[in-house]
Structure 1
Amino acid sequence: MTTCALTAATLTVLAGCGMSGGGTAAGGGAANGESIVIDEPFAPAANWALETFDAFALTKAGCLETLVKSENGGTLAPMLATSWTRVKPTVWKLELRQGVTFQDGTPLDAKAVTGALQHALKVKTPAAAFSPDVVSGVKAVDSSTVEVTTVKPDVLLPQRLASPNAGILAPKAYSGAAIDPKGTCTGPFEITKEVPQQAIELKRNDSYWGGRPRLASAEVRFIADGGKRATQVRTGEANIARKIPVTSVQELKGDATIRTQSSELPRTTQLILNHKKALFANAKVRQAFQAAIDTKAISDAVYPGASRQAVGPFAPGDPWTPKGAAPVKADPAKAKSLLAEAGVDPSSLKLTLLAYNEGSGFADLASVLQEQLKAIGVKVSIRSGEYASMEPDMLSGDFDMALLSRNYLADLPDPYGFLSQDYSCKGSFNLAHYCDATVDSLIKKAGATAGTEARYALYADIAARLQSQAVRVFLVHETESVALAGVKGYQIHPYYTLTADLSLGSQ
């Protein structure tokens, strides 16, 4: 491990710091082949615990793999499992891919897979995607067959097994006090060095079951500031920078050596109103804030050409978006009237808005919201910082309002995971601290509905209720932009960044 100290301030000179074992510039040739540098916005913060967002950092780094693969568009494909079949209402059987080994040389067999999934069920706070609430047991039928039993009939088990939270590591990974992904993944790249929460270095897994990766090595840096990520691509210190700000996209367009790739994501930026506060427990107050906010002005000014006005939690055109869903029209006069009906004097309100640094455009967005709420007499102060420093307060309900950018197909390639986590009364990511018995019932019903069309209709019903009740103020549907320099084979995906298909060259 390099002894050169890495801080947020020194990440811009990381290549010279020696993390890459010789100061190889981004896109330069390593001793055994091509190497790239990738800038990611979110750092692992839980010692690689797979029940947390750290699992997503591992799949994006090309290390962790799952039994089922989530393709763009929401379809599923084989990964470590070649097939899955529901043999009884609550029993699924999966056939494992033959000839796969973990990076430490041990075989991927039913015993190893069963141990990994059982570990996911036994942790103190299991991930909602794969937890004892939905999975009652996992066992090895034979060396290549795994049986998963659910608590109730669950039509979405394959989607759960595609979640990074259900990733599979070698038995050795679970032997210590913390998860150790070094040498215990099955993916195309193996972690060789780590500076906690700041950077990891990886080398090619020459025994990868999917074929020899094209790149020899890679370095993944975790940089919260989107402007810094874009700068590193512009200065040649990085090849890929994810989630770059709109302003950076415009700045990079004049550089012929850099291209930007944008994709409309299943992602909605929203203003969370904390229902644990008496103020926002009142629906009229929430609707007042909803009416005070001009989402068109936000889309035009903060995310020009990179967003659409939100029509609710889901974007227009999604099969689960209510038919005819439209943005809420800004109406400050209506907002003031609703506050009066609620018996609230806006001049008496002094609220704090949390805006984490990793959020694309959040600094500008927070300022715009501050001015729009000031127009109806509400005083708002802004607290910025890294997401990890704010999440404890958001989870505990110790805040007034907060900005959140949420991918509603991230945890599962189906909205059920998002809705159950964010909007059910006991949801593990219910940051609004919202609870409604009717919505709870609809979410549970959707999770038990096998027919796709019927399930999507239930999602649409839920979305309409969330919008009409102003449970949160849905602001814009996002387009993610990625800056690329000298790299080809990249596709925007919520789970994967560093893949076996990446290589150097123009695209």
Structure 2
Amino acid sequence: MGGGTSTGGSGSTGDLSIVIDEPFAPAANWALETDDAFVLTKAGCLETLAKYDTSGALKPMLAVSWKQSGPKTWDIKLRQDVKFQDGTPLDAAAVVGALKHELGAKAPAAAFSPETIAGVKAVDDATVEITTVAPDALLPYRLAAPNTGILAPKAYTGSSTNPKGTCTGPFRISKEIPQQAIQLKRNTSYWGGSVKLATAEVRFIADGAKRATQVQTGEAQIARKIPVSSVQNLKGGSGISVQTQELPRTTELVLNNKKAPFDKVEVRQAIQAAIDTKAITKAVYQGAGRPAVGPFAPGEPWTPEGADAVQADTVKAKALLAKAGVAPASIKMQLIAYNEGAGFSDLAAVIQQELKAVGITVTIKTADYASVEPDLLSGDFQAALLSRNHLGDMPDPLGFLTADYTCKGGYNLSHFCDPKIDALIEKAASTKDPKTRYADYAQVAAELQSRAVDVFLAHETESAAVASGVKGYAVHPYYTLTADLSLGSQ
């Protein structure tokens, strides 16, 4: 399948093909409770009941509306004109079956799990009732998470999830080359109208420089997550544009709050004060990021007003250690930098030198993330670098804050626990008014920053290389290949 080449014919909906380079391949046999769901939404196959707009709004997708009929009950009205790619209708029974399959997963996604969802049932052919464990004002946001995507019933009849022919999106999978690519064809019966591209290929290429090169050579038309070094090269070329957008993603130094001496707030604050985030963003990220002001970036509606990056101050760091009664030389910190983290090896080396200036010895451990995650989850570590998307679990910070900073959070790598923070996050979950809810998030963020629960380092950006002639593309955490994406004169 050639990139951007004609497949014959003319047709009002176009006859061209596109190649898109993605960094991550499916790794869990298309299990929707995993990140494989994001691969499928980006490939234009999988769709959800609600659609997330980067402005922060939710729009109808497979559902036309949703209404909270009681404190713990939501009624979801479905579109009447949708068919799965195998020709079967999308009705309440199919939606209930798909959502129950997600709830029954061995490790359900944080956005939609038995911890938050009490039940799902069909009221009639076009209405699904979802009951939550506690009052939950954010159920519609959960239904926009790719992990709650809806596949046809036959997708779940085998030993693994099968998205081939069972999606509702503008593209259907025609061929899969394991760990290398998926090829797709236009869904000619798409409920959303005409699909401009006839075919597409999504390639999984881990090497960021190679992804950038393929756009330069014309082998691909879009390449996501281009490394900073490649961005600088591409900006000088012709026929290629670079789209850069700040992500809801922050790089942080995770500190194990349960392990001495990091159980002392002054020690954590000392480490925070010793690290120069401005120097890090300049040296490691080469300007493709901003010094972190906490878990959320400036300009986001849930960021504390006036939040600013901590100023590096070695004198203050030493004074905080003295206040804690901890001699700097007694801190022998092992820092985990997993291989998949962009720039983590360089970042770890900078942190090592900056902490050395206050007398703290840092040794660096590098490994694949899969090999270190069990220790991170169990608490058998001291410190680790982490890149965390606070809208990854669902398009609202509630999922992130619940998973990472509540006492029973499923991804609480900091092993931080404060019942008052739990109560504030629980209050936010039941708050309908966005401004009030965002104020609660801001209060939590301010607490995390002031107590140095983690050391937030940099707010990240994502750059995509886009060939000339590509129309209808925008950087988005969930969607890449869409019905409106086109080439040339389309």
CA RMSD of aligned residues (A): 2.1
Of 94, 103, 106, which residue of structure 2 is paired with 1:124? 106
Q: Residue 11 of structure 1 corresponds to which residue in structure 2? A: none
Task: Please tell me whether the aligned partners of residues 449 and 455 of structure 1 are also in contact (alpha carbons under 8 angstroms).
Answer: yes
Alignment CA distance shift 1:38-1:391 (3 Å): farther
Structure-2 separation of matches of 1:30 and 1:433: 55
Deviations 1:118-175 (A, max 9, x none): 1111222221211122221111111111111122221111111111111101111111
Task: Please tell me whether the aligned partners of residues 135 and 429 of structure 2 are also in contact (alpha carbons under 8 angstroms).
Answer: no
Of 53, 57, 76, which residue of structure 2 is paired with 1:71? 53
Alignment CA distance shift 1:371-1:27 (3 Å): farther
Report the TM-score, using the length of structure 1 for normalisation: 0.90
Task: Please tell me whether the aligned partners of residues 406 and 421 of structure 2 are also in contact (alpha carbons under 8 angstroms).
Answer: yes
User: How far is the alpha carbon of 1:360 from its aligned partner?
Assistant: 3.5
Q: Which runs of 5 or more structure 1 residues have no equivalent in the other structure?
A: 1-19
Alignment CA distance shift 1:381-1:38 (3 Å): farther
User: How far is the alpha carbon of 1:302 from its aligned partner?
Assistant: 2.3
Alignment CA distance shift 1:235-1:432 (3 Å): farther
SS at match of 2:248: strand
Alignment CA distance shift 1:37-1:363 (3 Å): farther
1:75-474 matches, within 5 Å, as: 75-474=57-456
Structure-1 separation of matches of 2:4 and 2:256: 45
Structure-1 separation of matches of 2:283 and 2:78: 50
Task: Please tell me whether the aligned partners of residues 439 and 462 of structure 1 are also in contact (alpha carbons under 8 angstroms).
Answer: yes
Matched, 1:500 2:483: yes
Structure-2 separation of matches of 1:494 and 1:297: 28
Structure-1 separation of matches of 2:25 and 2:254: 23
Structure-1 separation of matches of 2:185 and 2:315: 59
User: How far is the alpha carbon of 1:233 from its aligned partner?
Assistant: 2.1
Structure-1 separation of matches of 2:293 and 2:177: 41
Deviations 1:74-104 (A, max 9, x none): 1000100011111222221111112211111
Task: Please tell me whether the aligned partners of residues 109 and 393 of structure 2 are also in contact (alpha carbons under 8 angstroms).
Answer: no
Aligned residues: 484
Matched, 1:29 2:6: yes
User: How far is the alpha carbon of 1:343 from its aligned partner?
Assistant: 4.0
SS at match of 1:118: helix
SS at match of 2:245: strand
Alignment CA distance shift 1:112-1:72 (3 Å): same
Alignment CA distance shift 1:393-1:504 (3 Å): farther
Q: Which runs of 5 or more structure 2 residues have no equivalent in the other structure?
A: 10-14
2:473 maps to amino acid: Y
Alignment CA distance shift 1:293-1:30 (3 Å): farther
Structure-2 separation of matches of 1:94 and 1:154: 14
Q: Which moved more, 1:229-238 or 1:438-447?
A: 229-238
Task: Please tell me whether the aligned partners of residues 272 and 432 of structure 1 are also in contact (alpha carbons under 8 angstroms).
Answer: yes
User: How far is the alpha carbon of 1:387 from its aligned partner?
Assistant: 3.9
Identity of aligned residues (%): 67
Alignment CA distance shift 1:470-1:432 (3 Å): same
